[in-house]
Every structure is written in structure tokens, then in C-alpha cells.
Structure 1
Amino acid sequence: MRRLGVVGAGTMGAGIAQVAAQSGFDVLLYDVDPEALARALGRVESDLQRQAARGRIPDAQVAEVLGRITTTTSLGDFAAADFVIEAAPEDLELKRRLFERLDRLCREDVVLATNTSSLSVTQIGALAGRADRVVGMHFFNPVPAMRLVEVVGGDASGEAALQATVSLAEAMGKVPVRVRDTPGFIVNRVARPFTGEALRLLGDQVATAAQIDRIARLACGFRMGPFELMDLVGMDINFAVHRSVYEQFFGDPRFRPHPLQERMVKAGRLGRKTGQGWYRYREGRALDGPAPAQHSLAPTPRLPEIRNVAVLGDADLADLAARAGYRMVDCCADADLVVLGDPALLVGRQPAPGVVVLIEASTRSTTELATQVVNPARVVGYGGIPRVSRRELVEVAPGLRTDPAATATAVRFFHSLGRDTEVVTDSPGLVAARLLACLINEAAFALQEGIATAEAIDTAMQLGLNYPLGPLEWADELGPDKVLAVLEGLQRETGEERYRPAPYLRKRVLAGMPLRG
């Protein structure tokens, strides 16, 4: 395999052509528009020159790579191609017609791959005489930088064609993952809750966009918050993908778009490209956004009014409190402040009425938990999924009857432990646990349906979206039982079917087994 055909000279087509040429392949780049071909070569040359300026490639390699790319406006030239990758616009009928023509023009042994990100590979190849050679080969943007390639098998895709696609991806320096043909494949399907649930959190006024982004970054470890991501990708694209996946799943509530998406698109607030989205931008630079961490760099002193602290059910948090200078006690009656890492620990324990009680509130609301305490006004919920020791920021959630002074004490206490805080509205899952539980649940549905292996799902999410952990690995670290409890708490409180736990998740919890392995 030496000669690679690429159909479409847009951003993705140009990127695929560049990577193939840099990997030693001769590339035939096709487009109906000669100006599009010229722009594509210009983009490739500019990127190669940047690489050379940074010392990543020798100067002489710029001309060498460009010399391997030949452009054409005649699809008939693809008769000489050994492998074809289609990167035309996301229009099903356009792609179907292209594959019908390519099937007639190319040799019978040539694999025909589509770079579609959201359309059915099975439908795209339906008009091809030999649908067994039609596969999906989904690259990620920008192609030269992103290592992931989803290799998608349609209903008729042959194993030989899929293996050839895996080999080509590896020869191009990419990491291929095998996936069955399903709406959104792995990444665009499993990632839907990251922005979808963030929009619901905002719509329900649990937190502001900046708070949600800050929590996603500092509590979960994401490199970018969901609203920052929507601004980067473009609200029009985000809304279109949400709507496409929702329609392809026949209205499953897990994928339902949010009215806020349509409102932003109609208002022309598309993100960075229009200078205004969830945040404001000037010349591509953000003028506002989530604040960085503060207290992890400079913890505040120990609270003078609190000497004795009882921490039950969270050894890591107890260690943080001890290192901050608090005297640890085992009995709630002796404590100036009580922290309960598990709501079940409330049973049989009643601190003095004036003592502030911090309760981990990821599975039930603070208001509900406070009904079990003598003085609900002194109860404050906090986010403990992920554990406080693993995050730079803690959500603080006062209940409906919580005294503002108790909330202020909770905030100051976490600051003294070197943790930033965000005060959010009382709601099961708060922000961090809710985002993670919904992501994990969707990954569990995908695994249950045989869309891909657990390893492929985790690899795809880490390489495709720079997640700190794959969602299934994350579930095993957090505890599948805790993830299930968050989802059940959300479903119980909201009554929404979108939070129904995947049967695979529920069964693994019942069996006491991790989600991976």
C-alpha cells in the first residue's frame, strides 16, 4: 500500500493528507473546487513550516512532504489508489453518491473508508457494490496532533478491510480503536453527558457556567470545562451533534438537547469564532472564564474557633485535617466540627445542636440528609466524589434550612485544608459527581451493547478528549457502587428517565465486581 486517495480538501482532508505524506505515503487529494485544493496545500505547507521552525522536522522535509501530495479535480484518478479515505462534508446523500462512484472506479481490493463523525457507516456504504470493503476511519481534529482514530465496522464491513484500516492507522502514527457502527461511535456518544449534563446543571440553576467549568477542572481534573469546550468547538456544531445523536437514538432522554443550546445559536453566540459564547473573547483570547485555584497554593490558617474535629468515613480527609493542625477526636460529642464522609454514619450519632456538621452529599440532597440531625440549620453538604484528597476544589451545598454562618464555616474549613470551594445549589450529585456519573453510565451502556471493549472505550476518551482517566477506569477508582448511588439519587429526586443506570453497571455492583475486567 503506497498510494493513498483522500476525497475532500477541507480541514480534515488536508490534515489526513499531511499526516499520510509525512508517514511516507504518496497522496492523491481530490476536491471539485480547485481553490479548495490550493487552500489545503497552503494549510499543509504552513503547518510543516511551523514544525520546522520549532525543530520538530528538518527544513528539507517541508518540500519533500509537499512533493508527495498530488491534487486532482477528477475522481477517475482514484483508479490508481491503494486505499481511499473520504472526508467530504457531513451529508449522508453526498457521501452515499461518492461511495457508489468510488466503488465503480477503484480496484476491488481497495478499502473505501469514510471519516464521518456522526453518520452511519452502514448507510454510507449501502449503494456500494461491495459493501464489505466500506469502513469508518474517524480521525480527530487537528489531525496532525490528535493520535486517536476510531475504526468503525458497519454491518457489512469485512474483517480484512477493518484489519487493513487498523494497519494503515498505525503506519500513520495513530492509535486505532475498533468500534461497532453506532450513533456517535465512542467519543461523540460517550462524551454527550459532559456538555449535556452541564447545560442541565446551568438550566436548573445548580451553578453558573464559570462555577461548573471551575469544578470540572479543579475537582475532576479535566483540562477544559464543558462551557469552555462548547465555546472552542462552536455552539452551532455542539448543538448539531447533540441533535443528531438524539435523533439517531430515537429520542432517548439521555441525549436530549437543551433549550439553552438553541437559544445561544439563534443569538449568534457561537463561542470563540464569534467573540461571544458562554464567555467573551477578543482576537481568540478569553476575556473572562473560570478562576484558577488559589487555596491549594496558599492554605488559610486553622480556624481559631475550631480545635477538635471528628471525621468519620473518610480517612484521607481526616489526614488533611490533622496536617492542617486540627486535633482529631473519635466522638462527635467532643467535636467542634463533625465531618461525615458517608451519610449512613448519621445513624446513632447526634452532635451538639450548635456544632456544624459537614455531610458528603453526592447521593442525596443536603436538605434530605439534614432531616436526620437535631439542628438542620447547622448541616452543610459537600462533594466527596471524587474524594477531597484527590481534588483541588470542594463543592459546598447548603440545604434549605442551613444557616449562612454554617455555610461560611464550611467554606473556611476547606480553605484551611488547602482546598478551593464553590457554593452550589443543593442537588444530588452536586456538580462533579453528577458529571462523572453520567459519563460513566454512558460508557457502561456502550460496553453493555458491545460497541467496543472497555480498554477501547477508555483509550478513546483519553486520546480523543484528553480525559485524565477513561470513564470505566474512573468508575473503578471512585467505586461502581457510589456511581450507581449518585444515578439513583438523581433519578429519585428528578423522576427523569435520563438517569436510569445501565443494567451492566447495576449487575456489576450487585456482583461486587469492577466495570473493567
Structure 2
Amino acid sequence: MGTGIAEVAAQSGFDVLLYDVDPKALARALERVEADLQRQAAKGRIPGSAVRAIRERITTTTSLGDLAAADFVIEAAPEDLELKRQLFERLDRLCRPEVVLATNTSSLSVTQIGAAALRPGRVVGMHFFNPVPAMQLVEVVAGDASGEAALQATEALAEALGKRPVRVRDTPGFVVNRVARPFSGEALRLLGERVAAPAQIDRIARLACGFRMGPFELMDLVGLDISLAVHRSVYEQFFGAPRFRPHPLQERMVKAGRLGRKTGQGWYRYQDGRAVDGPAPAQHARVPGPRVPEVRRVAVLGDPDLADLAAQAGYRLVDCCADADLVVLGDPGLLVGRQPAPEVVVLVEASTRSTTELAAQVVNPARVVGYGGLPRLSRRQLVEVAPGLRTDPSATDLAVRFFHSLGRDTEVVGDSAGLVAARLLACLINEAAFALQEGVATAEAIDTAVRLGLNYPLGPLEWADELGPDRVLAVLEGLQRELGEERYRPAPLLRKHAIAGVP
């Protein structure tokens, strides 16, 4: 990480002094900088003539005392609290009083690191993201004693480096590493509960939610050992809060040596750096295909988005369930007093309750199939289809063919409240709501940090505005009711927004 920071600083016109106790490590760092600059020049991102000038702005030293001349210090030592405290104690004595001392820690407390300095007001967090040259985000972390002048100077330097600073409070995981925990954590629970396989979950994350990479693909990229270590660190720092509990599957994979891409096998098998058994690409182009022959008339109640798609696909929309060949329900309560014929397939939106529970309200549970409608179908390229305990396979088959006719891919998943997409999003949103309520950062800062630091299509609070706090709350309450786990306890702030009807 320190090498990347040095490279970006040199490219931004700063003279850089790179320190390490190991001269071989410094030589390797300069080689990496040179190689990356040459790659950038080959791709036309920087002039070839600039490579030497940038490289010559970086000098190295094995003497910490040489940092006494620095105007700003960024520490990127290994994540060892005692090591960092010793460094900052020495830097505080060496550097001029006005010099900011910034730590690039991703998991340790800035307050604890700064407490080793006689002037903790100049100690701040400056958390870069890998790869530093490509990632825009820098979390500027305010420890309990960090001074406003030091924080502003850090933000100004981040901007001078071409980065986007986001001010956050010193709490475990800051914003990005905290709010991102449910993405992999909830995916592991979905796998552990046999709701879906890794490739299905990743495919749903990509095609239903718009993520660039699914949670299992991401764990394989980062390394399962690193992912488990971060989960454990955040869990321990939150004194065992159930929301952050690691999953036994993680430890089993690590003990088996299946660490992801770097070992050639993790959740997927890899050849030449590419997964050979990863999630399949989209098969449908979000344009209507051939209609289901046995379905001409469709009654859609409570899901106007799906009604529009069905009409575009050429189905005749009817208001009376008795006249329909297929009934779609955004809410099964809408069926009161107007049940369809027993042989008619009924699709029920299953983001808040299981298909089996919802089917109990329909005249023939064998013809009931759950589907994922959160996010709305016009946003999705893929729809989860979830048969209940009593669902006939022919009903599931018709549901799959119907969604294909709307130009959507499908994944048949296990029967569970929230299915996959709504469950992942609701848990991400809930953690962001907890962070906002605790004053870790502003709503805008949380969304910006997550979009830039994780390449999410939307920030979690932007997702909450789009889906509606009331619907997110309903998903969490459905999960809590079905699974009985405290980890799905809704953030009080989210509940208040749902009750008040405000985003």
C-alpha cells in the first residue's frame, strides 16, 4: 500500500521520501513503481517522457530520522497496533509540531494509535484503497483527539493527490469495511441455509442488483484468509454483535487452503486467473421473448412494474382473477374475496415472507410460486423464483418460462424470506443506517464512500430511498420473524423513517 501511495504522490508533483527498515523492500517498491509507470505510459495514460521525472521524485531511506524534514507523514506499516504506536511515538518526537501524522490503518483505532503521541491532535487516519493509483476514495478518519486543522490538511492533501476524501469518525471498520460486512456475511448465511449456491448468489448480485462482482467472487479476489481476518476483527471490535459474526464456512475454507485466486481454488476453481466454474452471464437481453403458450390473460395485483413488462410482452392484462390464466400478486392480501381457479398458477412477491407462508392464503398452495420483486423488475436483468414446500414442479416451470418471456433471466432458489437480492440489500442498508445514526459519517459521505470504495452501483442509503424504508424494514422484520436471529434487528433510525414515511 505504501508503494502505491508514494507513486500517486510523485505523480501529483510531490517529492517523496519512502522509508522502510529493509533496503530490499525499498528496492522492490521502486521496481513496482517503475513497472507500473511503464504500463501507464504504454497505455497512453502518461507521456513516456514523464516516467523518469516521476520516478526521480521518490527517494528512499532506512533511517526514520530522515523523516524529520517531512511536511506530511503517511504511515502504512503492517496492521499491528503496538508497532504503529511505537512509530507514532518516535515520529511525534522527530517531526515539527505542525506536521500532520497520518495512519493508513484499515482496521485499527486511530484514537489508540494517536494516544502514543504527545500531540495526538495532529494524528489522523488517511485510509487509501487498493490499488491506490486506481481507487479514488480516501477515508479521512477523525480520532477522538484529532484536531480540525490536521483533518482539513489531510483532506486538502487527498484532493491534491486526485482523490475524493470522505470524513468519517473513528469506529471499527470506519465506513467501507463496516458497511460492506453484510455483503459477504449474508451471502455466507444464504449458502449455509442452502437458499442458493455461490454461483447463483453471485449471479443474482450482478444481474438483479447491479453489483460488478458477486460476494463469493469478491472473497476469492481478496483472499478468503484476509476476508475472514477482517470479519473477525470487526466482530471482536463490536464486542460480538451478531450482525458481524463470521461464518463457519469461512474458517473451513481457510483451513482447507482454499483461499481464492491466489491458491487456484476458493469458492471457484481458477485457470490462468479466471474462474472456470463461475456465475453464468445473462442469457436474455431484457427485451420480450416468445410468450408462454398456455398464458394469454394475466391479472397483476400490487406490482405495476411487472404489469407494464407483461403488457410490453404482449400479454392481455385483466382485472378479474377468475378470468386470468396467470395471477401475479405484489401482496397476497389483495386476493381476499377474489381467488383464482385452483389450477391457475399464482406468483407471489416473496421479499418479506417465504413462499410457503404466503401460499397458505391461496386456494391451492401447489400452484403458488414466489418471485423476487425487490428491487423492481424493470431494474433487474434476473428474477429469483422460489417454490414453496407444496409447490408443484410444473408451476415452477411455468413461472420460469413467464419471466423468460419478459426478457429476464431466472435462478430457482430455496424458499426463504427475502430470497437473495432483497436480503443482501436490506442488510447493507441496515448497517448503513446504524452507521448514520451513530454519527460515523453523513448520509452523503456513507454513500460516496461505498460507491467509490466498493464500486457499488448505488450507495446503501440511496438504495434505501429507491426501495423505500418501509419495504426494507418489512424484509428485515420478515427475516427476524422467520429465522429468529438478533442480527436482523432493524436500526432504530430506519424504523423511524419507515414510520414517518420519509426517505
Q: How many Å separate the matches in 2 of 1:182 and 1:312? A: 45
Shift of residue 314 of structure 1? 1.6
**Alignment partner of 2:96: what SS?**
coil
Whole-angstrom distance in 1 between the partners of 2:317 and 2:29: 65
Matching residue of 2:249: 260
| Deviation, structure 1 residue 299 | 4.9
Match of 1:357 in 2: 346
Partner of 2:125: 136
Cα deviation, residue 348, structure 1: 2.7
Q: How far off its partner does 1:346 sit? A: 2.8
1:49 aligns with 2:38: yes
Which residue identity does 1:290 align to in structure 2?
P
Gaps of 5+ in 1: 1-11
Answering whether residue 297 of structure 2 is matched by residue 308 of structure 1, we say yes
CA distance in 1: counterparts of 2:93 and 2:303, whole angstroms? 65
The question of 1:159 aligning with 2:155 is answered: no
| Match in the other structure for 1:96 | 85
Superposition deviation, residue 73 in structure 1: 0.2
Of the candidates 393, 396, 409, which is equivalent to residue 382 of structure 2? 393
The SS at the match of 1:63 is helix
CA distance in 2, matches of 1:342, 1:373: 11
**Aligned equivalents of 1:318, 1:287: Cα separation in 2:** 38
Partner Cα distance (1:507, 1:274) in 2: 46
Within 1, Cα distance between the matches of 2:72 and 2:225? 33
Contact 2:300 2:319 in 1 (8 A): yes
Q: Which residue of 1 aligns with 2:24?
A: 35
Q: Which moved more, 1:405-414 or 1:295-304?
A: 295-304
Q: Which residue of 1 aligns with 2:398?
A: 409
Matches within 5 A, 1:239-278: 239-278=228-267
Query: 1:341, CA displacement in angstroms?
Result: 1.6
Q: Look up the match of 1:5.
A: none
Could you tell me which residue of structure 2 aligns to residue 177 of structure 1? 166
CA distance in 1, matches of 2:222, 2:332: 39
Q: Deviations over 1:340-389 (max 9, x none)?
A: 12233233331110100000000011101111111000000000000111
**Residues 1:502 and 2:491 are matched in the alignment:** yes
Q: CA deviation at 1:152?
A: 0.1
1:235 to 224, 235, 255: 224
Contact 1:343 1:361 in 2 (8 A): no
Tell me if structure 1 keeps the 8 A contact 2:288–2:312: no
Instruction: Say which SS state the counterpart of residue 441 (structure 2) adopts.
Output: coil
RMSD: 0.8
2:449 maps to what in 1? 460
What does the per-residue CA deviation read over 1:66-92, in whole Å, with 9 as the maximum and x for residues that have no partner? 110010000000110000000000011
Aligned to 1:6: none
Q: Which moved more, 1:385-394 or 1:308-317?
A: 308-317
Offset, 1:491: 0.2
The aligned counterpart of 1:146 is 135
- Aligned positions, number: 503
- Partners of 2:477 and 2:462 in 1: CA distance: 20
Q: What is the deviation of 1:298?
A: 6.9
SS in 2 for 1:94: helix
User: Per-residue displacement from partner, 1:3-62 (whole Å, max 9, x unpaired)?
Assistant: xxxxxxxxx000000000000100000000001000100111111111111111111110
The CA distance in 1 between the partners of 2:401 and 2:352, in whole Å, is 24
Structure 1 position 288, deviation (Å): 1.7
1:325 aligns with 2:317: no
Gaps of 5+ in 2: none
What is the CA–CA distance in structure 2 between the aligned matches of 1:54 and 1:226, rounded to whole Å? Answer: 30
Q: Which amino acid aligns with 2:17?
A: L
Residues 431-477 of structure 1, C-alpha deviation per residue, up to 9 Å, x if partnerless?
00000000000000000000000000000000000000000011110
Provide the residue aligned with 2:213 in structure 1.
Answer: 224
The aligned counterpart of 2:112 is: 123
Alignment check: 8 A CA contact 2:427 2:488 kept: yes
Shift >4 Å, 4+ stretches: none
Give the partner amino acid of 1:453. Answer: T
Structure 1 contact 85–115 (Cα < 8 Å) conserved: yes
Give the letter for the 1:345 counterpart.
Answer: L
- SS where residue 85 of structure 1 aligns? strand
- Out of 17, 24, 27, which is 2:6 matched to? 17
Give the AA of the match of 1:387: R
Question: In the alignment, residue 379 of structure 2 is paired with which amino acid?
Answer: R
CA contact (8 A) 1:309 1:329 kept: yes
TM-score norm. by structure 2 comes to: 0.99
Of 372, 384, 387, 1:383 maps to 372
Alignment match, 1:69: 58
TM-fit CA distance, 1:300: 3.8
CA distance in 2 between counterparts of 1:304 and 1:402 reads 21
In the alignment, is the contact (CA less than 8 A) between 2:202 and 2:214 conserved in 1? Answer: yes
Alpha-carbon distance, 1:304 to partner:
0.9
Deviation at 1:297, TM superposition (A): 5.9
Amino acid in structure 1 at the alignment position of 2:387: P
Q: CA deviation at 1:283?
A: 2.4
Q: Which moved more, 1:79-88 or 1:281-290?
A: 281-290
Q: How far, CA to CA, are the matches of 1:126 and 1:265 in structure 2?
A: 35
**Secondary structure of the structure 2 residue equivalent to 1:508:** helix
1:105 positional shift:
0.6
Superposed displacement of residue 295, structure 1:
1.9
